[in-house]
Amino acid sequence: MTQAHRKAATRKTRPRSGVAWRARLAAALPWALAAASLGVVLAGVIYMPRMLSAWPLEEVSVTGVSDARRQEGVRVSLSELLADENFFSVPLERIHDRVTDLAWVAGASVRRRWPDRLVLDVTERVPVAVWNGDTLVSSSGEAFSAVEQYATAGLPRLSGPKDRLDEVMNYYHGITKMLDELDPDIRVMAVDQRLTARLELDSGAKLIVDRDGYTAKLRRFVRFYQEVARPAQRRLARVDLRYGNGLAVRWRDEDTDPAPEERV
């Protein structure tokens, strides 16, 4: 083999430096990316708390709650969840669950408002009556325990068998509708197992009516009140409506209070 041929063979077998460099780079690239990722993670662990602390939660706004006692109740219930939290870390789902666990809350939504506020929109239960002295009844007919959270002086007091709230409420609404033409409202309604209702109106008059045919009996009472009691300007003390074709009346006199009962 000539010298020229030997040089040509040497050139063919010698590795090219560019190919070797690319191979080394390809082998090192995954390790470089892993190191860079680890650096980012470490930087996040070290510096992220400092970054987040620059956005503290400055205000908790509660809307939809009409009473200061219930406003304070929301804040107290959330105080533990909000401790040491910032705008980004505050746990919205847990806050929602904590608020809706309050007996007087019908629903709620929770959201962040940039840059430093948490906003709670609360839907309250609206009480329409006090049930058995220690429970409220909402406008949707649900019983809930929050008497101490509401001013209940203007609410009617209803009482009856614990397991018959729905029946008593339907009875109450039916009686209220029948008495709607009159001025007095129901202040107290006590119902026994047979659903005989003893009512006290805010005029002071007391009514007794049983469930059997009560609409016709109340219609008779309304007619009697409009045609007899109101024109005579006489005050009723007690009216018993448990008769099939009449009612028993006791008048409230100035001299004898109350006067004897009479059947009409």
Contacts of residue 99, Cβ cutoff 8 Å, sequence gap at least 6: 74, 77, 78, 105, 108, 110, 120, 122
Residues 161 and 237: their CA atoms lie apart, in Å, by: 26
> What is this structure's pTM?
0.75
**Residue 231 in tokens:** 């024109």
CA dihedral 28, 33, 35, 38 (to 10 degrees): -160
CA dihedral 229, 234, 236, 241 (to 10 degrees): -30
Q: What is the pLDDT of residues 128-153, one digit of tens each?
A: 999 999 999 999 999 999 999 999 99
Class of the domain covering 156-263: alpha beta
Residues forming a β-bridge with 232: none
The CATH-assigned architecture of domain 59-124 is Roll (3.10)
Mean pLDDT for each consecutive 10-residue tract of the chain (264 residues)?
51 56 63 56 47 74 92 92 91 96 96 94 97 96 94 96 95 95 91 97 95 95 94 92 94 64 63
Q: What is the pLDDT of residues 156-173, one digit of tens each?
A: 999 999 999 999 999 999
